[in-house]
């Protein structure tokens, strides 16, 4: 797997390189995507590589930087980019490409981008901790541990 940005620092396209890598059988993760148009061009480069090499490893990934899009244009725009790209992929039956929602910053984003169509989410530790923890979960875990201890004590008492 090769992680490759959509462009270089000057904005020059890496689409030909993406196409070449996929056609040579290399899985790619095209990253730093911040627009719908970048997404579809990356997908077309990947798909062209698959056509040249039908035995190429699948899936390849396209990482949409949802958090950064939200920072610049607002949450609604980031959702729109991801949702529209997922619909576009499905419409064109590009099953060998999966979407990574990246740059996630809040528990709300995790749920929303999951329902918007991302195949994979990259979630930093802080939002992940908040997603996995709740007062009710902690209470239930404590009850589970207490019950387990009682059962273990009863087992120890048996001859």
| Residue 119, Cβ density class (10 Å: 0-12 exposed, 13-18 middle, ≥19 buried) | middle
Cβ contact 5:14 at 8 Å: yes
Write the pLDDT tens digit of every residue in 117-131: 999 999 989 988 888
20 plus 89 within the same structural domain: yes
83 plus 143 within the same structural domain: no
87 plus 154 within the same structural domain: no
pLDDT beyond 90 at 113: no
Give me the percent of the chain exceeding a pLDDT of 90: 75
48 plus 23 within the same structural domain: yes
Tokens 């099953």 sit at which residue? 95
Which domain CATH number covers 104?
3.20.20.70
Residue 50: per-residue pLDDT: 98
10 plus 50 within the same structural domain: yes
8 plus 77 within the same structural domain: yes
108 plus 159 within the same structural domain: no
Domain annotation covers residue 128: no
Q: Give residue 123's region: left, alpha or beta (phi > 0; psi -120 to 50).
A: beta
Q: Print the domain residue range for 148.
A: 133-159
Write the pLDDT tens digit of every residue in 36-66: 999 999 999 999 999 999 999 999 999 999 9
Mean pLDDT score, 103-132: 88
Number of domains in the chain: 2
pLDDT beyond 90 at 96: yes
* Mean pLDDT over each residue of the chain, to the nearest integer: 94
């Amino acid at each position: 797997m090769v992680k490759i940005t959509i462009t270089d620092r000057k904005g020059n396209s890496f689409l030909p390189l993406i196409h070449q890598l996929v056609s040579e059988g290399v899985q790619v993760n095209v990253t730093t995507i911040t627009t719908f148009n970048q997404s579809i061009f990356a997908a077309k480069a990947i798909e062209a590589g698959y056509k040249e090499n039908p035995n190429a490893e699948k899936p390849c990934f396209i990482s949409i930087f949802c958090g950064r899009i939200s920072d610049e244009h607002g949450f609604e725009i980031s959702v729109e980019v991801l949702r529209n790209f997922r619909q576009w992929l499905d419409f064109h039956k590009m099953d060998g490409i999966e979407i990574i929602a990246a740059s996630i910053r809040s528990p709300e984003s995790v749920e929303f981008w999951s329902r918007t169509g991302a195949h994979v989410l990259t979630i930093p530790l802080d939002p992940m901790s908040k997603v996995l923890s709740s007062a009710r979960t902690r209470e239930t875990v404590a009850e589970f541990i207490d019950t387990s201890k009682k059962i273990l004590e009863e087992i120890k008492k048996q001859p």
